[in-house]
């Protein structure tokens, strides 16, 4: 949306500044995300009472969200396919028009556009598919994003080439459920591997059911794909996994995690605690399971009830205080695993890509870089951004990982 607007000559400010039009790319994967979308809309009006505000994306398909956004005074609420017409909607809003454009058809739109620039970051995101055909009972995404549809191989390769040519050093392949890429995810990886250029590829998040021997072989042999994967677990309780409609058993996950770890691949995951009916015993099963996984990090969520999902009608809601305590317990385990992982890198050489982001710690300015293992590494600020360099990890403490140029 940003690059389409730039091409039409729009000038950008941040959400904290006064603007004529605010465009919010909304989210509703959890009730918190939907709330934050509404909060941003309110903030836009606080910055400029006369502003035109447009909210795009998933919240537009949820009636309750639409009503609340209208109450706030949002001018246009747009479904996915309308995002590519965003410059026109901005002009229409400025001309006093308003409305909701979120028909069912807009959930089946295939975005074949080729992006050549991803903001000022060194890492660019390349969306290869959208939507999901799975039926995880807690998840609203199939309802608001629609069924799987994929960008053609030709356009994905074109986009990667264009992003690399314009200076991006790492391309992150993303989507709602990228393993289901219609034209063959493994085929795509093999073609990307053959491309010219000094760039890295990161697989954003992939469901466990897609990790098989042939994918592992591709990862093993690849010179471009980084040694990091994000594979959602969601629960370590066999009973809860079943209730969640997740199509694998916990031992499958365990085998995959250790197989990848032995190949030197750093692993991240997602965990949901407080799913309806989750007992102390179920949670203990999850806790013990996570203790035994080779994880670098995890995103831990307290279950968020989403209207019209199968899980929303399950009896046996977990008390909010108990769910939060369970989340704290898992976060503590993950924090110590993450610390141990980063500590194990001390004295080792890693490849990082530096970002424009600078961080001030105890009066000293550092530049942020991201390693192949998906560790945020701080280096002296004299090192310029957008560099792919080798550094030596000098020290990891509980919050940060420091490195110096390797000799």
What is the sign, positive or negative, of the torsion defined by CA atoms of 333, 334, 339, 344? positive
How many residues make contact with ligand SF4 (CB under 6 A)? 9
Closest to ligand SF4 by CB, 129 vs 282, is 129
What's the closest the beta carbon of residue 80 comes to ligand SF4, in angstroms? Answer: 15
**157: contact with ligand SF4 by CB under 6 A:** no
Residue 360 CB neighbour total at 10 angstroms:
9
| Residue selected from 41, 53, 115, 141 as contacting ligand SF4 according to rule CB under 6 A | 141
CA distances (Å), 91 to each of 1, 15, 22, 26, 72, in order? Answer: 14, 19, 12, 20, 21
**139: contact with ligand SF4 by CB under 6 A:** yes
Residue 125 CB neighbour total at 10 angstroms:
18
Closest to ligand SF4 by CB, 164 vs 206, is 206
Closest to ligand SF4 by CB, 132 vs 201, is 132
What's the closest the beta carbon of residue 237 comes to ligand SF4, in angstroms? Answer: 17
Q: Which stretch binds ligand SF4 (CB under 6 A): 49-57, 128-136, 358-366, 367-375?
A: 128-136
What's the closest the beta carbon of residue 83 comes to ligand SF4, in angstroms? Answer: 19
Q: How far is CA 149 from the centre of its chain?
A: 18
Closest to ligand SF4 by CB, 305 vs 343, is 305
Length of the chain, please?
407
Token pair of 288, please? 């013990």
**177: contact with ligand SF4 by CB under 6 A:** yes
Strands (E), 165-265: 170-174, 200-203, 225-230
What's the closest the beta carbon of residue 327 comes to ligand SF4, in angstroms? Answer: 18
What's the closest the beta carbon of residue 241 comes to ligand SF4, in angstroms? Answer: 12
* Cβ 311 vs Cβ 275: under 8 Å: yes
**327: contact with ligand SF4 by CB under 6 A:** no
**235: contact with ligand SF4 by CB under 6 A:** no
Q: Which value, to the nearest 10 degrees, does the dihedral of the CA atoms of residues 84, 85, 87, 91 take?
A: -160
**130: contact with ligand SF4 by CB under 6 A:** no
Rama region for 234: left / alpha / beta (φ>0; ψ in -120 to 50; rest): left
**233: contact with ligand SF4 by CB under 6 A:** no
**132: contact with ligand SF4 by CB under 6 A:** yes
What's the closest the beta carbon of residue 205 comes to ligand SF4, in angstroms? Answer: 8
What's the closest the beta carbon of residue 232 comes to ligand SF4, in angstroms? Answer: 7
Token pair of 377, please? 């590494």
* Cβ 376 vs Cβ 268: under 8 Å: no
**373: contact with ligand SF4 by CB under 6 A:** no
**271: contact with ligand SF4 by CB under 6 A:** no
**237: contact with ligand SF4 by CB under 6 A:** no
CA 90, 92, 96: angle at the middle one, nearest 5? 115
| Residue selected from 142, 175, 276, 369 as contacting ligand SF4 according to rule CB under 6 A | 142
The Cα 268–Cα 287 span in angstroms is 16
What's the closest the beta carbon of residue 160 comes to ligand SF4, in angstroms? Answer: 23
The β-bridge relationship of strands 401-405 and 388-396 is antiparallel
**134: contact with ligand SF4 by CB under 6 A:** yes
Closest to ligand SF4 by CB, 159 vs 207, is 207
**379: contact with ligand SF4 by CB under 6 A:** no
* Cβ 324 vs Cβ 302: under 8 Å: yes
* Cβ 60 vs Cβ 26: under 8 Å: yes
Closest to ligand SF4 by CB, 176 vs 235, is 176
Q: Specify the DSSP element, H or E, that contains 129.
A: strand 129-130
CA 165, 170, 171: angle at the middle one, nearest 5? 85
CA distances (Å), 361 to each of 74, 156, 387, 398, in order? Answer: 40, 39, 22, 14
What's the closest the beta carbon of residue 178 comes to ligand SF4, in angstroms? Answer: 10
**243: contact with ligand SF4 by CB under 6 A:** no
**150: contact with ligand SF4 by CB under 6 A:** no
Residues between 185 and 224 that touch ligand SF4 (CB under 6 A): 207
DSSP codes, 332-343:
HHHHHHHHHHHH
Residues lying near ligand SF4 in the complex (CB under 6 A) are found at 132, 134, 136, 139, 141-142, 176-177, 207
């Amino acid at each position: 949306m940003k690059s389409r607007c730039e091409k039409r000559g729009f000038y950008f400010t941040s959400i904290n500044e006064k603007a004529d039009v605010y465009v919010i790319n909304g989210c509703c994967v959890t009730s918190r995300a939907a709330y934050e979308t509404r909060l941003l809309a309110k903030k836009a009006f606080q910055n400029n009472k006369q502003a035109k505000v447009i909210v795009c994306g998933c919240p537009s398909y949820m009636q309750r969200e639409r009503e609340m956004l209208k109450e706030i005074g949002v001018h246009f609420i747009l479904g996915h396919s309308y995002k590519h017409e965003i410059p026109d909607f901005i002009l229409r809003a400025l001309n006093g028009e308003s409305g909701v454009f979120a028909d069912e058809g807009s959930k089946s739109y295939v975005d074949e556009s080729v992006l050549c620039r991803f903001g000022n970051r060194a890492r660019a995101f390349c969306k290869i598919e959208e939507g999901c055909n799975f039926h995880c009972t807690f998840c609203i995404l199939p309802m608001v994003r629609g069924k799987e549809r994929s960008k053609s191989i030709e356009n994905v390769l074109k986009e990667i080439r264009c992003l690399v040519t314009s200076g991006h050093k790492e391309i992150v392949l993303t989507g709602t459920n990228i393993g289901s890429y219609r034209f063959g995810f493994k085929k795509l990886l093999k073609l990307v591997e053959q491309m010219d250029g000094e760039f890295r590829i990161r697989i954003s998040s992939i469901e466990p059911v897609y990790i098989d021997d042939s994918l592992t072989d591709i990862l093993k042999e690849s010179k471009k794909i980084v040694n990091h994967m994000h594979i959602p677990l969601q629960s370590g309780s066999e009973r809860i996994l079943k209730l969640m409609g997740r199509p694998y058993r916990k031992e499958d996950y365990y085998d995959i995690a250790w197989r990848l770890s032995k190949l030197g691949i750093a692993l991240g995951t997602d965990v949901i605690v407080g799913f309806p009916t989750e007992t102390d015993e179920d949670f203990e099963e999850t806790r013990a399971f996570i203790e035994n996984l080779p994880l670098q990090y995890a995103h831990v969520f307290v279950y968020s009830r989403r209207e019209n999902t199968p899980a929303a009608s399950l009896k046996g809601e977990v008390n909010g205080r108990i769910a939060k305590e369970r989340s704290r317990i898992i976060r503590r385990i993950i924090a110590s695993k993450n610390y141990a992982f980063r500590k194990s890198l001390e004295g080792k050489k890693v490849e990082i890509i530096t970002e424009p982001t600078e961080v001030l710690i105890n009066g000293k300015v550092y530049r942020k870089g991201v390693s192949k293992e998906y560790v945020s590494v701080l280096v002296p600020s004299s090192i310029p951004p957008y560099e792919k360099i080798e550094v030596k990890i000098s020290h990891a403490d509980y919050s940060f990982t420091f490195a110096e140029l390797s000799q």
